C-alpha cells in the first residue's frame, strides 16, 4: 500500500501479544512454603531449576531462559532472577501462565542452604482462534485469526489471518521462528494477498506477495533485513478516474531487499512521556528480479520530554526519497503520500501534492514535521482512572511533497521541498486505546495551502497507530 | 455499455468537436500485440481514417489493462475514454461523424448482421487459433503476451489469459472444435463476405462503412501476420475480390498518408 505506513504484512508478527510494558511492571508472584526460614541475608545455592507442565515444548528451548537463576546468591537475588526468568518465559508466547515456586531442596543431595526453583507452566492450546477489530491509519477492520503457537516445540508460531476492513481485504499466512535462547533474533516467512481501495487516488490495488524477514538486535538497535516479492495489480477505482491513474493500471512485479533500523527508547509507543525513536528504512528494488527498479529511503525521528505540570513536549520529523533506477518512471504504488489526520492535520487524507483531475498521484520526495504539547485534561476529570486515557494537545504540523525532476541536481530538489510548505496548527483531544492505537479529535487551521490540495479545516477526527 | 451509459457518453461527446490530440492505444507492436488485438485495432484505425478523423497511435504494454472494458483498442478523446469499435462508432456519431447515415433501415440491419458475423466467426477463430491451438499458444501467443513482464509474472499472466480464453471458447461451444473445423468456419465466413461484396468496391457500393473497416481490419491482419501455418491466410487468398478489397482500402486510406500500418 502507499507507504507512509510500513509494509503490507497484515499485523506485526514478531513477538507475542503478551509483552512486558515498561510502565506496568507487576510484582512477582511467588508462592512459598508456609513453613519457611528467614533467608534474606543468608547465602543460598540454587540446586535445581526446572519447568513443570511441558507438553510439546522442547526442554532445550527453555534452558537459556532459566539459566540465570542458577547464578543467584541470596534469596532476594533468587526472587529477582526468577521473576526475570518468568518474564522471559512469558515473552516466548507459548505459555498461558507461568508461576514460580521456590522451595528448600529435598532429597539425598540437598544442601542445607539449597533451593529448588520450579516454574509451573501452562502451555497455550495447540490452536487458538481470535477475533479483533483493528484500527489502522484512519480505517477500521475486522480481523479473524487462527494461531498455532509453539507448533514445533521451540516457540515457532504459525498464524493465519483474514482481515475485512473499510478499505482493505486481505489474508495472510505467517511462520515465525525465534532463535532458541535469543528470542530477539528471529526469522519470519509470510505469504499474503492484500486488496486496497484508495479513493484519494481513484486507485484499486491488489498485492500478492511472499516475504522473508530476519530480525536481530545489534547493541541498542533492532535491525531487520527483508526480501519481498510482490505481484502488484493496479486498476481504476471508478470510470471517472483521471487518465494519469489509468495509465498506471496493469500488473507489475516487485522484488526488493530492504533494511530497517529502529532505536526506541520511549516508555510507550502511544503518548510517550520520555525517550526517543529513530527509524531508518531503505529498500532497493530491481536487483533481485522483477519489473520495479528503485531505491527508497525513509526515516522517522521522534523526541519526547516531560515538562512541568505533567505536560509533555513532543517533536517529530519524517522524510523520504524515492529514486527510480533506470528509465522507467516510478509507480504510483511506491510513491509517498502526505496529509490527513495522521500526518499533516487540517488536510484531507493523502490529498496533497502532485495531482491530476482530482486524483492524488503521490510524490517522490517528502518531509513532514510536528510539534506537540500534550497536557492532561483541564480540571483533570476522572483522575486516576478513565481520565488518564485522555490528553489535550496543541500541535503544529508542516511538510511538503513533490516529485523529482531528473536532470536537476539535489540543490534544486531541496529548494523545491522548501518552497510552498504546507502547515497547520490547532488543538484537540487525544484518547489512548491500550498500547496500540489512539484516537484524536482536533480543531485544525490549515495554512500554506497550494492549489490542488484538499483541506479539512475545522474539526477533524483521526484514528491510527502512527501519527506525526 | 448499458443504455444509460450510452446516453451519457453521447451527451458528453456531442459537446465538443474532435480534438487534434486524439489518441488510440494498443499493445506494443513489435513484440507483444497478438493477431486478434491487432485486427481490432486496425479496424478502428481504418474506420477513423474513413471518417477523416485524425488519431495518433500509441503503443503501451499495459493497454489491455488501461482499457475500461479490458479490450483493445481504446481511444482517448478529450477527457473521454472509449473502447471497442461498436462504442467508438456510437461516440463519433454523437460528434456528428458517421459513415452509415446514407443507409436505409434494411441496409443498416444487414450491415449489423454482417458485423455480427465477422465478430462471431473471424474474431472467435482468431482467438481460437491463438490460444486453443497448443502449437500457436506455445510458440507465439504466450511468449508475445508475456514479453513485457519478468519471470514468474510473465508465466502467470500468460497462462491466466490462456485459461480465460479457453473457458470462454468452451462456453460458446467452440471448445470441442478442431483446427480444421475452425478453418472451415473461416472459409464459410469469407465466402459469405465475398458473395455480399461481389464486384462492388465496398460492401454498400460506393462509400465505405464501419463494416468495411471491420472486415478490412481482420482480413488484412490475417494476411500479413506470421502464424505457425499459412493455412488461414491461404483460405482468404482463395477469394480474389476480398484480396483486392483489402488492397483498395490500404491504398486509399493508409498508403496515401503514410506507410501501411503493419510495416511501421
- The verdict on a CB contact (< 8 Å) between A249 and B65 is yes
How close A188 gets to chain B, by Cα (Å)? 23
- The verdict on a CB contact (< 8 Å) between A246 and B81 is yes
- The verdict on a CB contact (< 8 Å) between B60 and A247 is yes
The pLDDT > 90 percentage for chain A reads 47
Instruction: Indicate if B10 and B67 belong to the same structural domain.
Output: yes
Question: In this complex, which of B64, B65, B76 lies closest to A243 when CB atoms are compared?
Answer: B76
What pLDDT was estimated at residue B149? 93
Q: Which tens digits make up the pLDDT trace of A355-381?
A: 999 999 999 999 999 999 999 887 776
Distance in angstroms (rounded) separating the CA atoms of residues A177 and A461:
39
Provide, as residue numbers in chain B, all residues whose Cβ is less than 8 Å from the Cβ of A357. 79
Domain boundary residue among B95, B120, B136?
A: B95
pLDDT at A13 over 50: no
What pLDDT was estimated at residue B41? 95
Q: How many residues does chain A have?
A: 468
What pLDDT was estimated at residue A225? 97
Q: What is the DSSP string of B36-82?
A: HHHHHHHHHHHHHHHTT---EEEE-TTHHHHSTTS-S-EEEETTEEE
A26 contacts: CB under 8 Å, gap ≥ 6 = none
Distance in angstroms (rounded) separating the CA atoms of residues A468 and A401:
15
Instruction: Indicate if B176 and B66 belong to the same structural domain.
Output: no
Residue B126: other Cβ atoms inside 10 A: 25
- The verdict on a CB contact (< 8 Å) between A251 and B149 is yes
Domains of chain A plus CATH, in order, are 45-123 (3.10.20.310), 128-464 (2.40.160.50)
- Domains in chain B, number: 2
Is B50 contained in some domain? yes
What pLDDT was estimated at residue B206? 83
How close B101 gets to chain A, by Cα (Å)? 30
Instruction: Indicate if B163 and B56 belong to the same structural domain.
Output: no
Instruction: Indicate if B80 and B112 belong to the same structural domain.
Output: no
Instruction: Indicate if B166 and B42 belong to the same structural domain.
Output: no
How close A239 gets to chain B, by Cα (Å)? 7
CA–centroid distance for A430 within its chain = 19
Q: Which tens digits make up the pLDDT trace of A381-428?
A: 666 677 778 889 999 999 999 998 766 777 777 777 788 899 999 999
pTM for the model: 0.83
Provide, as residue numbers in chain B, all residues whose Cβ is less than 8 Å from the Cβ of A252. 149, 153
Instruction: Indicate if B133 and B53 belong to the same structural domain.
Output: no
Crossing angle of helices B153-171 and B124-131, in 10° steps, is 130
Confirm if A148 and A159 have CB atoms less than 8 A apart: yes
Is B196 contained in some domain? yes
Instruction: Indicate if B240 and B209 belong to the same structural domain.
Output: yes
What pLDDT was estimated at residue A103? 86
Distance in angstroms (rounded) separating the CA atoms of residues A5 and A336:
10
Q: Which tens digits make up the pLDDT trace of A67-114?
A: 888 888 888 888 888 898 888 888 888 888 999 988 888 888 888 888
Distance in angstroms (rounded) separating the CA atoms of residues B93 and B18:
11
Q: Which residues pair with A121 in a beta bridge?
A: A98
What average pLDDT does the structure give for chain A? 85
The pLDDT > 70 percentage for chain A reads 89
Instruction: Indicate if B66 and B194 belong to the same structural domain.
Output: no
- The verdict on a CB contact (< 8 Å) between B156 and A246 is no
Domain CATH number, residue B76: 3.40.30.10
Domain boundary residue among B76, B95, B114?
A: B95
How close B32 gets to chain A, by Cα (Å)? 15
Q: Which tens digits make up the pLDDT trace of A156-193?
A: 999 999 988 877 788 999 999 999 888 889 999 999 99
Is B262 contained in some domain? no
- The verdict on a CB contact (< 8 Å) between A247 and B156 is no
- The verdict on a CB contact (< 8 Å) between B149 and A246 is no
pLDDT at A12 over 50: no
Instruction: Indicate if B35 and B148 belong to the same structural domain.
Output: no
Up-side HSE of residue A154: CA atoms within 13 Å toward CB?
Answer: 14
How close B151 gets to chain A, by Cα (Å)? 7
- The verdict on a CB contact (< 8 Å) between B66 and A250 is yes
Give backbone dihedrals phi and psi of B71, rounded to 5 degrees, phi first: -115, 150
User: Please, which pLDDT band fits residue A263 given cuts at 50, 70 and 90?
Assistant: very high
Is B263 contained in some domain? no
Q: Nearest-CA residue of chain A relative to B64?
A: A250
Provide mean pLDDT across the span A51-66: 86
Domain CATH number, residue B141: 1.20.1050.10
Provide, as residue numbers in chain B, all residues whose Cβ is less than 8 Å from the Cβ of A235. 65
Question: In this complex, which of B60, B61, B65 lies closest to A235 when CB atoms are compared?
Answer: B65
Residue B79: other Cβ atoms inside 10 A: 12
What pLDDT was estimated at residue B264? 39
Q: Nearest-CA residue of chain B relative to A232?
A: B153
Provide, as residue numbers in chain B, all residues whose Cβ is less than 8 Å from the Cβ of A253. 149-150, 152-153
Collapsed DSSP state (helix, strand, coil) of residue A88:
helix
- The verdict on a CB contact (< 8 Å) between A357 and B79 is yes
Q: Nearest-CA residue of chain B relative to A250?
A: B65
Residue B151 belongs to domain spanning = 105-255
- The verdict on a CB contact (< 8 Å) between A251 and B79 is no
pLDDT at A11 over 50: no
Beta strands (DSSP E) in A81-181 are 95-104, 114-123, 128-135, 140-149, 157-165, 168-179
pLDDT at A20 over 50: no
The size of the A-B interface in CB pairs under 8 A is: 40
- The verdict on a CB contact (< 8 Å) between B153 and A231 is yes
Provide, as residue numbers in chain B, all residues whose Cβ is less than 8 Å from the Cβ of A251. 62, 65, 149, 153, 157
The pLDDT > 90 percentage for chain B reads 69
- The verdict on a CB contact (< 8 Å) between A250 and B65 is yes
Is B226 contained in some domain? yes
* Residue stretches of chain B with pLDDT short of 50: 258-260, 263-264
Confirm if A336 and A435 have CB atoms less than 8 A apart: no
Domain boundary residue among B30, B61, B95?
A: B95
Instruction: Indicate if B153 and B225 belong to the same structural domain.
Output: yes
How close B128 gets to chain A, by Cα (Å)? 24
End-to-end Cα distance, chain A: 18
Is B264 contained in some domain? no
Question: In this complex, which of A246, A253, A289 lies closest to B66 when CB atoms are compared?
Answer: A246
Distance in angstroms (rounded) separating the CA atoms of residues B60 and B33:
10
Distance in angstroms (rounded) separating the CA atoms of residues A278 and A177:
26
Provide, as residue numbers in chain A, all residues whose Cβ is less than 8 Å from the Cβ of B151. 289
Instruction: Indicate if B61 and B188 belong to the same structural domain.
Output: no
Which one of A249, A286, A289, A333 would you mutate to disrupt binding with B, by most B Cβ within 10 Å of its Cβ? A249
Provide mean pLDDT across the span A348-356: 92
Instruction: Indicate if B124 and B9 belong to the same structural domain.
Output: no
Amino acid at each position: 500500500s502507499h507507504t507512509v505506513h510500513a509494509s503490507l504484512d497484515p499485523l506485526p508478527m514478531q513477538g507475542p501479544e503478551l509483552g512486558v510494558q515498561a510502565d506496568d511492571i507487576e510484582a512477582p508472584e511467588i508462592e512459598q512454603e508456609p513453613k519457611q526460614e528467614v533467608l534474606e541475608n543468608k547465602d543460598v545455592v540454587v540446586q535445581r531449576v526446572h519447568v513443570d507442565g511441558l507438553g510439546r515444548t522442547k526442554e532445550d528451548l527453555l534452558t537459556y531462559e532459566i539459566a540465570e537463576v542458577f547464578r543467584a546468591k541470596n534469596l532476594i537475588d533468587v526472587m529477582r532472577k526468577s521473576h526475570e526468568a518468568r518474564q522471559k518465559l512469558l515473552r516466548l508466547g507459548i505459555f498461558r501462565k507461568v508461576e514460580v515456586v521456590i522451595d528448600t531442596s529435598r532429597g539425598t543431595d540437598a544442601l542445607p542452604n539449597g533451593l529448588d526453583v520450579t516454574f509451573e507452566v501452562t502451555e497455550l492450546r495447540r490452536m487458538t482462534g481470535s477475533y479483533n477489530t483493528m484500527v489502522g491509519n484512519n480505517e477500521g477492520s475486522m480481523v479473524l485469526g487462527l494461531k498455532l503457537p509453539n507448533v514445533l516445540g521451540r516457540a515457532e508460531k504459525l498464524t493465519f489471518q483474514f482481515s475485512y476492513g473499510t478499505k482493505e481485504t486481505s489474508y495472510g499466512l505467517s511462520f515465525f521462528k525465534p532463535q532458541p535462547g535469543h528470542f530477539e533474533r528471529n526469522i519470519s516467512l509470510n505469504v499474503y494477498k492484500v486488496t486496497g481501495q484508495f479513493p484519494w487516488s481513484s486507485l484499486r490495488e491488489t498485492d500478492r506477495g511472499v516475504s522473508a524477514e530476519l530480525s536481530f538486535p545489534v547493541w541498542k538497535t533492532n535491525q531487520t533485513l527483508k526480501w519481498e516479492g510482490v505481484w502488484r495489480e493496479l486498476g481504476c477505482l471508478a470510470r471517472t478516474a483521471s487518465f494519469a491513474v489509468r495509465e498506471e493500471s496493469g500488473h507489475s512485479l516487485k522484488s526488493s531487499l530492504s533494511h530497517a533500523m529502529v532505536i526506541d527508547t520511549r516508555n510507550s509507543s502511544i503518548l510517550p512521556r520520555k525517550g526517543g525513536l529513530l527509524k531508518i528504512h531503505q529498500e532497493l528494488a530491481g536487483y533481485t528480479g522483477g519489473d520495479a527498479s528503485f531505491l527508497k529511503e525513509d526515516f522517522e525521528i521522534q523526541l519526547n520530554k516531560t515538562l512541568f505540570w505533567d505536560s509533555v513536549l513532543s517533536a517529530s520529523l519524517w522524510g523520504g526519497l524515492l529514486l527510480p533506477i533506470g528509465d522507467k518512471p516510478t509507480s504510483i504504488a511506491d510513491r509517498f503520500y502526505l496529509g490527513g489526520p495522521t500526518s499533516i492535520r487540517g488536510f484531507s487524507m493523502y490529498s496533497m501534492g502532485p495531482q491530476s483531475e482530482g486524483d492524488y498521484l503521490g510524490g517522490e520526495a517528502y518531509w513532514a514535521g510536528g510539534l506537540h504539547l500534550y497536557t492532561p485534561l483541564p480540571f483533570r476529570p476522572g483522575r486516576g482512572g478513565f481520565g488518564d486515557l485522555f490528553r489535550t494537545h496543541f500541535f503544529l504540523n508542516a511538510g511538503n511533497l513533490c516529485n523529482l525532476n531528473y536532470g536537476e541536481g539535489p540543490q534544486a530538489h531541496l529548494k523545491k521541498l522548501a518552497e510552498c510548505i504546507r502547515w497547520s496548527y490547532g488543538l484537540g483531544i487525544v484518547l489512548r486505546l491500550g498500547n496500540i492505537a489512539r484516537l484524536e479529535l482536533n480543531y485544525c487551521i490549515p495554512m500554506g495551502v497550494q492549489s490542488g490540495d484538499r483541506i479539512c479545516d475545522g474539526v477533524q477526527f483521526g484514528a491510527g497507530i502512527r501519527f506525526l | 455499455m448499458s443504455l444509460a451509459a450510452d446516453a451519457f457518453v453521447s451527451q458528453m461527446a456531442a459537446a465538443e468537436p474532435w480534438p487534434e490530440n486524439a489518441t488510440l492505444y494498443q499493445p506494443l507492436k513489435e513484440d507483444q500485440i497478438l493477431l486478434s488485438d491487432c485486427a481490432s485495432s486496425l479496424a478502428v484505425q481504418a474506420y477513423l481514417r474513413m471518417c477523416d478523423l485524425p488519431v495518433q497511435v500509441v503503443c503501451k504494454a499495459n493497454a489491455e489493462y488501461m482499457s475500461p472494458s479490458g479490450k483493445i483498442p481504446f481511444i482517448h478523446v478529450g477527457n473521454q475514454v472509449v473502447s471497442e469499435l461498436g462504442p467508438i462508432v456510437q461516440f463519433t456519431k454523437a460528434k456528428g461523424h458517421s459513415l452509415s447515415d446514407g443507409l436505409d433501415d434494411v441496409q443498416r440491419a444487414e450491415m449489423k448482421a454482417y458485423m455480427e458475423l465477422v465478430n462471431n466467426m473471424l474474431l472467435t477463430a482468431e482467438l481460437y487459433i491463438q490460444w486453443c491451438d497448443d502449437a500457436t499458444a506455445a510458440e507465439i501467443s504466450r511468449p508475445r503476451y508475456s514479453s513485457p513482464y519478468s519471470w514468474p509474472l510473465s508465466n502467470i499472466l500468460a497462462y491466466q489469459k490462456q485459461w480465460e480464453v479457453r473457458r470462454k471458447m468452451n462456453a460458446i461451444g467452440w471448445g470441442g472444435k478442431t483446427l480444421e473445423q475452425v478453418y472451415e468456419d473461416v472459409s464459410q465466413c469469407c465466402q459469405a463476405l465475398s458473395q455480399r461484396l461481389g464486384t462492388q468496391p465496398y460492401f454498400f457500393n460506393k462509400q465505405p462503412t464501419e463494416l468495411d473497416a471491420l472486415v478490412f481490419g481482420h482480413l488484412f491482419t490475417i494476411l500479413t501476420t506470421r502464424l505457425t501455418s499459412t493455412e488461414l491466410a491461404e483460405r482468404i487468398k482463395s477469394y480474389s475480390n476480398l484480396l483486392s478489397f483489402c488492397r483498395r482500402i490500404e491504398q486509399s486510406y493508409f498508403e496515401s498518408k503514410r506507410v501501411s500500418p503493419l510495416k511501421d
